[in-house]
Amino acid sequence: MPMERRGGDKLSAYLAFVPINVKELSQTRFETYFVNDSNYYMRFIYLTCEDANLQLRATAEVEPNTKVFVEEFGREELNQISRVNVQIIAYKRDKPFLPKPPVDVQLRIDAVKFYKLHTFQPSDFFEQPALVYTIIEDDRPQRPLVINAQQLKEQMYGGQQGGDEERQPSPARTVRPDGPIVVDLHAEKLLDTLQGMDATDILNYQLDTFRKTLREHAKKPGTKVVFIHGKGNGVLRQALINELHYKFKRYTYQDASFQEYGYGATQVTIK
């Protein structure tokens, strides 16, 4: 029988991502773990979300106060796990127990964090540094990180009343109430550090940001997105054009306003 511990009758569970080789962060693959930090058995379902659809990735029973390996993945799969759903049923075996309500939590997994060394921190569950997301802690499920775009816009531009601290947009992205969405693809705007990354890694990350932005707004025809890529040697711009020709054929594009963005920006219109 698994050993129980004092205080463990409150449910706590976590989703953890561990780099296989943290010293080679730009090249390494990652492992996903489910951590059960309670005296209950947990049956969990791990799914990824895309629009209104779910895709099952793993399901297992986890003994009390232990963790289980879920899957291994590479950077090319980060976009697939940008939004995940975890469902849990908790119970005890061969003894009476207080019932716990089912847990159903949605988490946003920030792909940018997988490029930053300081993201992976020591924890009680792993010998090596890990990126740990809370699913439920002390019987309190994590609030789903589902963002309402209109509410966010109102909060950023004064529509939110009350004493809430003003939210600031990402330095790489600017949203104007009467203009296009502006995304700066310069590497220094997207990443805290370029250490350990070569030109190919940086370009792939910039393209991932480009694709993710367009997919986020795919159901908003007429939306205009300006991507600032700079002049440079034209490699990034040409890569964006190739993406538009082969993966986003329905969208139109043009050079963005020279006066506002200089000679290194492309405006894409969602169709």
Contact assessment for residue 145 and residue 138, using Cβ atoms and an 8 Å cutoff: no
Strand 131-137 relative to strand 66-73, pairing:
unpaired
> Which tokens is 204 given?
């792939």
Per-residue pLDDT at 148: 43
DSSP β-bridge partners for residue 73:
30
DSSP β-bridge partners for residue 66:
36
Contact assessment for residue 133 and residue 109, using Cβ atoms and an 8 Å cutoff: yes
State the Cα–Cα distance between residues 73 and 252, nearest whole angstrom. Answer: 34
Contact assessment for residue 243 and residue 207, using Cβ atoms and an 8 Å cutoff: yes
Question: For each successive 10 residues of the chain (271 residues), what is the average pLDDT?
Answer: 84 95 87 96 93 88 95 89 93 93 92 86 91 94 54 42 40 61 87 74 87 90 89 79 87 85 86 87
DSSP β-bridge partners for residue 45:
59, 87
**Residue in this structure with the two tokens 């920006």, named with its chain if needed:** 265
State the Cα–Cα distance between residues 64 and 9, nearest whole angstrom. Answer: 10
Per-residue pLDDT at 192: 74
Q: Which of 16, 17, 11, 69 is nearest to 41 (CA)?
A: 11
CA dihedral 222, 224, 225, 226 (to 10 degrees): 160
State the Cα–Cα distance between residues 46 and 55, nearest whole angstrom. Answer: 9
| DSSP type of residue 121 | B
Instruction: Catalogue all structural domains in the chain, each as residue range(s) with its CATH number.
Output: 13-141 (2.60.40.1600), 149-156+168-269 (3.30.1370.110)
Per-residue pLDDT at 136: 95
Per-residue pLDDT at 180: 85
- Estimate to the nearest angstrom the gap between the alpha carbon of 261 and the chain centroid: 28
Per-residue pLDDT at 1: 66
State the Cα–Cα distance between residues 191 and 210, nearest whole angstrom. Answer: 14
CA dihedral 121, 204, 260, 154 (to 10 degrees): -50
Length of the chain, in residues:
271
Contact assessment for residue 9 and residue 43, using Cβ atoms and an 8 Å cutoff: no
Contact assessment for residue 255 and residue 228, using Cβ atoms and an 8 Å cutoff: no
**Residue in this structure with the two tokens 């296009």, named with its chain if needed:** 180
Per-residue pLDDT at 160: 40
